[in-house]
Structures are given as structure tokens and as C-alpha cells.
């Protein structure tokens, strides 16, 4: 017997299965077509329907049925085109006639694997719960027995050190006529940068659109040269434009090398022409959002500019392997990568690895702490973001940053090396908009600096993503804001000057907020790294785990 | 805020002078304890300057434990001093206050000064561990020519309690702190001044960077860096770490506890070294309000302010006698006839050093030639400006 599925639409999904349901108001809609044109996933389309209406005109009821052709906006139920909730339709609608609504009962993940193709997306972990970072409070308040500092009047030094710091016992310092002098021949003095403790983390040209990357770079330059805030940003994997590599602005950038080595042909060729050293070199071994995965830039984002910078053909998938293929052990990593990168810049540039948060972070740390060329360790927690990854990696893989950074810091304390080896924390900083508070909490848990990614995309360029899987189209090249796309039709929506302005706003505001946190704690002269006696949480288990105060 | 009264002099003086200065500064102050550290002693100690003095308090059972330990270590008791305790209202006497002079164990007779000092420090810590749990032994210092007295109560009453007004006990340097208690229970090991191997400091602040500093010191592997019942004890240990372990000139203590900003460092002639020093000793930077007064093994006394100068402090006097105090009225009590125009109020960049015996420096000791003299008439005091180096 022939199944009746086709007739009763039994194998089709209803909108109830989809993560977002479009609420469209016929009487407000003027049928301009803006929403259907702008939808990045074509989740809505114009449709023509035949409508039966009953009319009764005249003194005596004389109902008459009539058929009428109407134009509607209809949500498609194809899982590949399901609404992502970005609300770009609502943004362009002149009459507020349309908007998506989150459907908490959706069964999206049950179906988003058609053709055996596991669901891939960009963005962040879809976990809207309150993170530990957001639950931490600052409870050591200076009151009466010691005067609290004034965030608006006193001098605050919100700076950190990036680079390997010599132990006091190994300082090549001697007293000559009562004055200290340095003997540079005595020992290798590692390069150390004094930077702002909030960095912009690794997001590549390629993952980001040209105006987005340009906006960030302009903002960072302004912060350094006008505001006096030494903020640095990391290139991500994929190199830098050769004009930037040969400019005086290179000192504000950390260049990343990852397992695909994309962009390094151009970097190496530019080396003799560099007039400034980069802020640092980051060797990416892992990413918090997708531990164990390599990088991925989908073919649709590999346009002319990207192909030139990375030295690859256009329109091909650029996959970096999960591991650096030339290395089979951490000794190899340390020897080959750290030393060769250090050597390339005459040992004048700090070189540090970035790993994803993991139970094994302490093993990595303890190996690196013994290597004089390892300038720091950057640990990216599970709440980190990515341009493209498997959903399962994003949602289920990774380690929370708070306990990971704490464990590592306390390990260093036990070895007496906590000042010598900086830890950089990232992954979930500013997840709920509390940039300064999250950064301060991580610093007090032991981080020397924090890195941000998603937060700056949201704050500076209005990225639509959230922890309810909203938008998260970064991997498709169809970013409706023009942030993570190489399509000129999309990225021309983004004004790099506005992005730069917002970057400056964000850091100035964060700087003011950090001072508002540090002032009542009585800290102003040095960053309160590891000042965990100022931290508390209303959860005994977490307090015990992080070795901080429990309050209630 | 605790009151601080230090005096350094060429002539021996009674620590009662410090106590009376504290009394003058007392207004608005609860006076909940007194700590005294005396250096360069007169009287019965004058002929015993090479022998270490163990200062502390014991219970009856504690003294037996102490004797057992010292005998086992090979120390030989040479002399015992105990204060003549006067009953004073409000002070509950403990069983046995002492300053006991020992001779070194035979095996240490020919050991170096450093080795002997390590032995003294380790012995003091061991005694503390033995008697801390049941509070049967308190030991505050164990070093040649140094006595420490501490007790809970009003400073003037404690001074009378110890019989300091008899003039029997005299010294050339005395650091005294009148305690403003911030805890309900006063613990003697939390009372200033703190002492380690010839380095002594007292302060009147709140060290908000206490935990990172403590963690740094604890991880140095020096058993002497322990205790920390007070957040100010780290100030003494930083002094010890800077001047004894790293062997830096005393003035760099100021650069360690209140480092200059990166821009300010550039103006210093020793900028290159200072940058490295600041980086490597970053966790030792203090924060919060603090006026630190101390002495070093050579008898130099100093005063340093926190980086914002949030506490009062004055250094004043004349050739042969100087007072380093938290309030001017205290100095007026001790040195009423000084030339007040030469009084020094150290600001945030200043580090004031009074040379040993408060005497003009005759020789160009390498430590001092860089100091900028504040007045041509007071070369026994140098104000080193951190910004100018």
C-alpha cells in the first residue's frame, strides 16, 4: 500500500519543531519584501494564498462566500532553512510586522543532521545559565580601618606584564657605587611587554570581515596612541596584510601561528622589512570552543583578499589540522616552536602557547614553566567562541575557565613561579556583558590578563548571537551584521569607523569599571593578580574548589 | 590607626620616652597594646653584645620546654633579664617575661655570621612551633643586642607594667607601636614590631595586597618567612628579602614596596635595573595606607610612605637624636627644643634614612653617596627621592 505520508505531510516538520517561530502580522505588513530579501537563511518567503472570505452586505444578512488571492510572508519548515532568530527581518521591517520568537520546545537538534551531516555552526556554547565568573563577588571592601581609594581621583595602574619574568634570584643586577646596574651578558633577559590586562583575542582576517577587522585594529591603535591604554589584539590564524606587517602599528598586534600556518609565508617575507616588533607571538594548540579541533575557514569566506594574505587559492575550504603535524610531544613543541619563533625576531618578542581548557592544563603548564622561552600560557575555557565548529564540540567539549586558571595559578604558587609565568584566561569573559567584573574575577583567581572575542563582536559591532543559538551563522559567511563574512554585499553594512569608536568606548568604560572594583578593594598600584581573599561566592562547593570565601 | 614612635640616638635612652610619645599621640586611640623592639642595648647587656638574646613570654610549663629545646640545641644560658613587673590595672600578667642571653652551641663557634643568624632564626621558629598551640611559649626575637617586649593593654600602663620607668633598660634604638586593635582577640604574634635577622619594621596601615605578598614570600623557601598573623609582618620580611637575600642597598626597599610607574622609571639613572627589579618583585608591591618605620642590622632607621601617602609621618630631631613617628605631637614630647624648620614630612616618593647613631656620615659609604641631603645641616638624615633617584 502506498504510504499516505505525502498527502498528510507526515514527514514534514511543523514550525513547532523549529527553534524560532516567526510572528508575522498581516494587517501591519505592507508587503515590501524587505524581510524576505534580508533573511540570511531564507527562513521566510513570500507566498500567495487563496483565502475564502464570507461577506454580508445590505440590510438583510446575505452571506456570500468569495475567494481572494492574498500575499503573505510564510515561514518555511525545511530544517536547513529554519529561522535562526537573528531578527534581521524585524530590523528592516518598516511597520514592526514581523519578529522571531524563541521556541523553548523545539526539537531542532533531533533533525539538524540531514544527510548524515552533523550540525556545524559558529558562535558560542549554548548555555544561558549563569557562569561561575558571573557569580563571583568582590567582598573585601576597605572600610574605615583602611581608607578606600577614590576611583576618580587616585592614580591607578591597570597594567599587566606579558612575557617571561626572571626570578629575583636570577636577576643580572649588581650594585656599583650604591646604584644597580644590569649585566646583559650574564643571562638571557626575556622580552616583557607592559600591556592592558584585557586583550582582544585571536580572531582572524578571514573569520572576520575586512571592515570588522579594520575597525578593531583602528580602535586598538586609537586606544594606544590617544587614550594611553596599551591594548593589544591577536591576529588569529591567517596572518596580517603585508602593509600592516611593515607598519609602525605592528607593535599593537600579537601574531598567531596555528597548525595550518596560514599567512606565515607573507609574515616571513615581511620580516626583513618590519620596522616594529609585534607585541607577541601566540602559538595556537587549542581553542576553548572546540577542543581537539583544528581551524576551519569555509570556502565561501575565502575571497580574494583572504587568499592573498594566506597564500592560497580562492574558494576552497581552509582546514587547519587539530595538532601541529611536526610535533609529537610537548618537548618538541617547546623546543621547535617556542625557540624558532623567538629566534625569528631575535629573542625580542614574547612567544607563548594557547591551549583549550582541559584537565591536563597543569601538565602543560609545568612543562612550559621549566622552559625559559615560554613567555606565558593562554588558556581558553569552554565558553570561548569560534567561527566554525561542530555543535557537539561547542556545547559539550571543553573545561570551564575558572577552576582551570585557578588550578594552574596555585600550581605556580606552590613552585614560587606565579610571578614569573603569566597566565592568560579567556572563554566567557563578558558573557553577560560584565566585562570588567569577569576580567577582575579571573585576575584575582590568578590570571595576569584576559582575552575577549565574542564580547567585543557584540559590543562593538552588534553581533546578534547569544546562548539560545541565535544567529550563530559565522561559519556560513552570511553574517547579517557583516562581521563574519567576506561577501561585500553583507560587510558593506558594517562601518569600520563605528566599530572603532565602539572599541574605544568599551575599553574606556571597562577601565573605569575596573577602577571602581579595585578602589574599594584598596588596590591601585599593581594589578591584584591572585588576590583571592577579595573574592567570594554563595556556593560552598565552588568556594572550596576555588579556595575562596563562601558567603551567604 | 596604630601609633608609631621610633627613636634613634647616639646616647642610650629609656624606651619610656617612646611610650610617653605614644601617650601624647593617644587622643582618639584605644591603646590596646604595646610592642617594643630595642637595639644596641645599655646596662647589663652592654658587655654581652655578641651574644644572642631570646625575647619572649612563657608559661611555667613553657619555660621547661624552652630550656629543653635550647639545651638540646647546645645553646648555653649566659644571662637572664626579666622585667620588674608592677601590678597595673587592666593588664593580666602572664607567667614569665624574659630576655635570655645565650652563647652559641660549640659547633657554631667558628661558623660564619650568616650561619649563626640562620641558626638563631630557625631556633626561634622552632620554639614558636613548640609553644604556639597551647600558647605556652611566645618568642619575638632571637638576635644579638636586640630585645622585644609585647603585651596587651594601654601603652603607658604596659610601660609601667614592665617597669620601663625605672630607667633600668636603655638602648640607642627603640621602635614602639601603640596598637589600635582591629580584631576582637589580640594575639601577641600579630603585634608590631616584627623582627627577622636584624631587620625590624612596624607600620600603621592596612596592607591590602597582603595575600599575593604572603604567597610570594612563603614560596621563597625561607623558613623565616612564616607567621603572618598580621598583614604588616610581610613588610619586615620584604625588607629582609630585599636587603639580605638579594643584597640590595636599603633605598631599593622603597622601590620594591612602592614601585614607580613605567614612565617614572625612565627618569631614573638606574632605569634598566629598576625595570627588571619591578617585574621580578611585582608581588611585593604593597597597597593601601601604610607608614613603615624600621631599622636594619647596621642601625640605620628609615621611614617610607605608601605610594599615595595616606598616613601621617614625621622624621625630626638633631644631630645625635632623631625621632621617626606617626604624629608630630609625639616628636614634640621627645624633642621639644629641636629646630622645627628642619622637620621632615616624607611624601609619597620620599625614603628617609637616619644613619646609625643619628650621626653625620663621616665616610662616603657606598650606600649613602646617592642620597640627597635635605638640609646641609642634617647630614645624619638623608631624604632619598625615589623619582629622582
A447 CB neighbours in chain B (<8 A) are none
Secondary structure of residue A376 in the 3-state scheme: coil
DSSP state of A11: T
Q: Do A181 and B206 touch (CB under 8 A)?
A: no
Backbone angles phi, psi at B35, to 5 degrees: -125, 135
Could you tell me the pLDDT band of residue B376, with boundaries at 50, 70 and 90?
very low
Q: What domains can be seen in chain A, in order of their start residue?
A: 12-117 (3.30.70), 148-550 (3.20.20.70)
Residue A182 has, within 13 A of its CA and on its CB side, a CA count of 16
* Rounded Cα distance, A208 and A221, in Å: 18
- Tell me how far apart the alpha carbons of residues A455 and A433 are, in angstroms, rounded to a whole number: 7
Higher pLDDT, A99 or A146: A99
Closest chain A residue by Cα to residue B261 = A157
CA distance A181 to chain B (A): 6
How many beta carbons lie within 10 A of that of residue A176, not counting itself?
10
A254-266 core/surface letters (b: 16 or more CB in 10 A; e: else): bbbbbbbbbbbeb
**Which chain B residues are within 8 Å of A172, Cβ to Cβ?**
276
Structural domain range at position B255? 3-49+145-385
**Three cell numbers at A99?**
519578529
How far apart CA B87 and CA B148 sit, in angstroms, is 20
Instruction: Identify which of A146, A154, A416 has the shortest CB distance to residue B206.
Output: A146
Q: Which residue of A has its CA nearest to B217?
A: A416
The torsion defined by the Cα of B319, B322, B328 and B334, in degrees rounded to 10, comes to -100
Task: Say whether residue A183 is in contact with chain B using an 8 A CB cutoff.
Answer: no
Tell which of B180, B181, B212, B368 to mutate to test the A interface (max A CBs under 10 Å). Answer: B212
Residue A505 CB neighbours (<10 A) = 13
B119 within a domain of the structure (yes/no): no
Least confident of A196-205, B29-38, B138-147, B334-343: B29-38
Q: How many Cβ atoms from other residues are within 10 Å of residue B372's Cβ?
A: 11
Return residues 178-237 of B near A (CB < 8 Å): 182, 205-206, 208-212, 215-216, 219-221
Out of A159, A173, A521, the one facing B273 most closely (by C-beta) is: A173
CA distance A232 to chain B (A): 17
Interchain CB contact of A104 with B (< 8 Å):
no
The residue-averaged pLDDT of B176-198 equals: 83
User: Which residues of chain B make contact with A168, given a CB cutoff of 8 A?
Assistant: 241, 246, 280-281
pLDDT value of residue B378? 44
Q: Is residue B190 part of a domain?
A: yes
Read off the C-alpha cell for B214.
Answer: 604572603
Contact (CB<8Å) A413/B262: no
The 3-class SS string of B12-29 reads: EECCHHHHHHHHHCCCCC
The 10s digit of each residue's pLDDT in A228-257 is 999 999 999 989 999 999 999 999 999 999
Instruction: Looking at the complex, report in whole angstroms how far the Cα of residue B64 sits from the nearest Cα belonging to chain A.
Output: 36
Please spell the DSSP secondary structure of B65-99, one letter per residue: HHHHHHHHHT-EEEEEE-------TT----SEEEE
Neighboring chain B residues of A167 at a CB cutoff of 8 Å: 280
Per-residue model confidence as pLDDT tens digits over A469-522 = 999 999 999 999 999 999 999 999 999 999 999 999 999 999 999 999 999 998
Q: Do A182 and B276 touch (CB under 8 A)?
A: yes
At B47-101, the pLDDT tens digits run 999 999 999 999 999 999 999 999 999 999 999 999 999 998 888 899 999 999 9
Closest CA–CA distance from residue B216 to any residue of chain A (Å): 7
Instruction: Say if B158 falls within a structural domain.
Output: yes
Mean pLDDT to the nearest integer, A215-225: 98
**Would B251 be classed as within a structural domain?**
yes
List pLDDT tens digits, range A337-395: 899 999 999 999 999 999 999 999 999 999 999 888 999 999 999 999 999 999 999 99
Residues 341-380 of B with CB under 8 A from A: 366-370
In-domain check, residue B133 = no
A228 vs B contacts (CB less than 8 Å): none
Contacts of A155 in chain B (CB under 8 A): 261, 308
Q: What is the mean pLDDT of residues B18-45?
A: 87
Task: Tell me the HSE value of A259 on the side-chain side, using a 13 A CA sphere.
Answer: 22
- Mean pLDDT of the B1-18 span: 93
Say what the pLDDT of residue B361 is.
55
Mean pLDDT of B35-40: 96
CATH number of residue B13's parent domain = 3.60.20.10
Interchain pair B208, A140: CB under 8 A: yes
Helix (H) or strand (E) holding B301: strand B301-305
Cell numbers describing residue B344: 621632615
B87 lies in a domain?
A: no
Read off the pLDDT of residues B224-267 as tens digits, 9 standing for 90 and up: 999 999 999 999 999 999 999 999 999 999 999 999 999 999 99
pLDDT at residue B306 in the model: 92
Q: pLDDT band for B368, please (50, 70, 90 cuts).
A: very low
Residue A89: enclosing H or E segment and its boundaries? Answer: helix A88-92
Our separate counts of H helices and E strands in chain B read 10, 16
Residue B373 has pLDDT above 50, yes or no: no
Cα–Cα distance between A288 and A298 in angstroms, integer?
Answer: 20
B287 with A532: Cβ contact below 8 A? no
Distance (Å) from the C-alpha of residue A262 to the closest C-alpha of chain B?
Answer: 34
DSSP string, A413-479: HHHT-TTTS-EEEESSTTTTS-HHHHHHHHHHHT-SEEEESHHHHHHHH-----TT--S--GGGT--
**To the nearest whole percent, how much of chain B has pLDDT over 90?**
74
Q: What is the mean pLDDT of chain A?
A: 93
Can you tell me the ipTM of this complex? 0.90
Q: Report yes or no on B307 lying in a domain.
A: yes
Say how many domains are in chain B.
1
Above 80 in pLDDT, residue A399? yes
Residues 397-436 in A contacting B (C-alpha not used; CB under 8 Å): 413-416, 418-420
Kindly state whether residue B224 falls inside one of the protein's structural domains. Answer: yes
Q: How far is CA A152 from CA A156, A231, A511, B99, in A?
A: 9, 21, 11, 51
**pTM of the shown model:** 0.93
Amino acid at each position: 500500500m502506498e504510504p499516505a505520508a505525502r498527502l498528510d505531510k507526515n514527514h514534514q516538520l511543523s514550525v513547532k519543531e523549529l527553534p524560532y517561530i516567526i510572528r508575522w502580522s498581516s494587517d501591519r505588513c505592507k508587503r515590501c519584501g524587505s524581510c524576505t530579501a534580508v533573511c540570511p537563511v531564507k527562513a521566510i518567503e513570500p507566498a500567495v494564498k487563496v483565502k475564502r472570505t464570507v461577506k454580508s452586505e445590505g440590510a438583510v444578512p446575505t452571506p456570500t462566500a468569495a475567494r481572494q488571492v492574498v500575499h503573505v510572508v510564510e515561514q518555511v519548515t525545511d530544517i536547513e532553512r529554519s529561522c535562526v532568530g537573528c531578527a534581521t527581518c524585524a530590523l528592516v521591517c518598516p511597520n514592526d510586522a514581523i519578529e522571531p520568537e524563541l521556541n523553548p520546545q523545539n526539537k531542532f537538534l533531533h533533525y539538524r543532521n540531514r544527510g548524515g551531516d552533523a550540525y556545524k555552526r559558529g558562535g558560542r556554547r549554548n548555555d544561558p545559565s549563569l557562569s561561575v565568573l558571573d557569580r563571583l563577588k568582590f567582598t573585601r571592601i576597605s572600610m574605615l580601618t583602611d581608607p578606600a581609594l577614590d576611583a576618580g581621583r587616585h592614580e591607578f595602574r591597570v597594567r599587566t606584564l606579558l612575557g617571561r619574568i626572571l626570578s629575583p634570584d636570577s636577576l643580572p643586577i649588581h650594585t656599583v657605587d650604591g646604584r644597580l646596574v644590569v649585566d646583559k651578558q650574564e643571562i638571557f633577559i626575556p622580552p616583557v611587554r607592559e600591556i592592558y590586562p584585557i586583550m582582544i583575542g585571536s580572531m582572524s582576517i578571514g573569520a572576520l570581515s575586512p571592515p570588522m577587522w579594520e575597525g578593531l585594529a583602528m580602535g586598538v591603535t586609537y586606544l594606544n596612541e590617544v587614550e594611553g591604554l596599551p591594548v593589544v589584539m591577536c591576529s588569529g590564524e591567517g596572518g596580517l596584510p603585508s602593509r600592516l606587517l611593515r607598519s609602525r602599528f605592528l607593535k599593537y598586534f600579537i601574531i598567531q601561528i596555528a597548525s595550518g600556518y596560514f599567512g606565515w609565508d607573507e609574515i616571513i617575507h615581511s620580516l626583513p622589512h618590519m620596522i616594529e616588533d609585534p607585541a607577541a607571538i601566540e602559538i595556537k594548540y587549542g581553542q576553548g570552543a572546540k577542543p581537539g579541533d583544528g581551524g576551519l575557514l569555509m570556502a565561501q569566506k575565502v575571497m580574494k583578499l583572504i587568499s592573498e594574505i594566506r597564500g592560497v587559492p580562492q574558494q576552497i575550504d581552509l582546514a587547519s589540522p587539530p595538532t601541529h603535524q611536526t610535533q609529537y610531544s610537548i618537548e618538541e613543541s617547546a623546543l621547535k616552536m617556542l625557540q624558532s619563533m623567538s629566534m625569528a625576531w631575535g629573542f625580542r618578542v614574547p612567544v607563548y602557547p594557547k591551549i583549550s581548557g582541559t584537565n591536563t592544563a597543569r601538565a602543560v603548564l609545568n612543562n612550559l614553566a621549566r622552559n625559559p622561552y615560554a613567555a606565558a600560557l593562554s588558556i581558553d575555557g569552554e565558553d570561548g567562541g569560534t567561527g566554525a565548529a561542530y555543535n557537539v564540540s561547542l556545547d559539550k567539549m571543553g573545561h570551564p575557565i575558572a577552576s582551570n586558571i585557578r588550578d594552574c595559578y596555585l600550581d605556580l604558587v606552590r613552585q614560587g613561579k606565579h610571578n614569573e609565568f603569566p597566565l592568560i584566561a579567556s572563554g566567557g569573559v563578558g558573557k553577560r556583558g560584565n566585562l570588567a567584573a569577569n576580567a577582575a574575577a579571573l585576575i584575582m583567581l590568578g590570571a595576569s590578563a584576559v582575552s575577549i572575542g565574542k564580547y567585543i563582536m557584540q559590543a562593538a559591532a552588534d553581533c546578534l548571537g547569544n546562548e539560545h543559538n541565535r544567529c550563530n551563522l559565522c561559519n556560513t559567511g552570511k553574517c547579517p551584521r557583516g562581521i563574519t563574512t567576506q561577501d561585500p554585499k553583507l560587510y558593506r553594512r558594517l562601518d569600520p569607523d563605528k566599530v572603532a569608536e565602539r572599541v574605544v568606548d568599551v575599553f574606556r568604560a571597562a577601565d573605569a569599571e575596573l577602577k571602581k572594583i579595585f578602589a574599594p578593594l584598596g588596590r591601585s598600584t599593581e594589578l591584584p593578580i591572585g588576590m583571592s581573599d577579595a573574592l567570594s561566592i554563595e556556593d560552598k562547593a565552588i568556594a572550596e574548589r576555588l579556595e575562596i570565601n563562601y558567603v551567604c | 590607626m596604630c601609633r608609631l614612635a621610633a627613636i634613634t640616638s647616639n646616647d642610650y635612652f629609656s624606651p619610656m620616652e617612646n611610650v610617653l610619645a605614644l601617650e601624647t599621640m593617644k587622643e582618639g586611640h584605644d591603646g590596646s597594646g604595646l610592642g617594643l623592639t630595642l637595639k644596641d642595648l645599655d646596662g647589663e647587656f652592654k658587655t654581652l653584645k655578641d651574644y644572642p638574646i631570646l625575647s619572649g613570654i612563657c608559661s611555667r610549663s613553657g619555660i621547661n620546654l624552652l630550656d629543653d629545646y635550647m639545651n638540646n640545641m647546645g645553646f648555653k644560658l649566659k644571662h637572664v633579664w626579666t622585667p620588674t613587673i608592677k601590678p597595673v590595672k587592666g593588664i593580666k600578667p602572664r607567667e614569665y617575661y624574659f630576655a635570655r642571653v645565650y652563647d652559641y652551641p660549640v659547633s657554631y663557634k667558628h661558623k660564619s655570621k650568616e650561619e649563626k643568624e640562620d641558626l638563631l632564626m630557625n631556633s626561634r621558629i622552632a620554639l614558636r612551633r613548640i609553644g604556639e598551640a597551647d600558647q605556652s611559649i611566645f618568642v619575638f626575637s632571637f638576635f644579638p643586642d636586640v630585645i622585644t617586649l609585647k603585651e596587651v593593654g594601654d601603652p603607658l600602663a604596659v610601660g609601667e607594667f614592665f617597669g620601663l620607668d625605672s630607667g633600668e633598660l636603655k638602648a640607642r634604638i627603640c621602635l614602639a607601636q601603640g596598637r589600635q586593635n582591629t580584631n576582637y582577640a589580640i594575639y601577641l604574634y600579630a603585634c608590631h614590631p616584627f623582627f627577622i635577622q636584624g631587620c625590624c619594621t612596624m607600620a600603621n596601615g592596612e596592607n591590602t595586597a597582603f595575600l599575593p605578598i604572603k604567597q610570594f614570600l612563603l614560596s621563597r623557601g625561607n623558613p623565616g618567612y612564616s607567621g603572618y598573623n598580621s598583614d604588616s609582618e610581610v613588610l619586615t620580611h620584604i625588607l629582609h628579602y630585599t636587603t639580605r637575600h638579594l643584597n640590595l642597598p636599603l633605598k631599593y626597599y622603597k622601590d620594591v614596596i612602592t614601585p614607580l610607574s613605567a614612565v617614572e622609571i625612565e627618569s631614573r639613572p638606574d632605569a634598566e635595573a629598576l625595570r627588571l627589579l619591578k617585574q621580578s618583585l611585582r608581588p611585593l608591591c604593597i597597597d593601601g595606607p601604610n607608614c613603615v618605620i624600621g631599622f636594619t642590622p647596621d642601625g640605620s632607621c628609615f621611614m617610607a610612605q605608601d605610594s599615595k601617602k595616606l598616613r601621617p609621618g614625621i622624621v625630626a630631631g638633631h644631630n645625635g637624636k632623631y625621632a621617626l613617628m606617626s604624629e608630630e605631637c609625639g616628636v614634640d614630647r621627645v624633642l621639644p627644643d629641636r629646630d622645627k624648620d628642619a622637620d621632615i614630612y616624607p611624601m609619597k616618593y620620599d625614603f628617609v634614612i637616619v644613619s646609625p647613631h643619628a650621626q653625620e656620615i663621616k665616610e662616603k659609604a657606598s650606600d649613602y653617596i646617592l642620597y640627597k641631603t635635605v638640609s646641609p645641616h642634617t647630614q645624619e638624615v638623608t631624604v632619598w627621592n625615589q623619582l629622582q633617584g
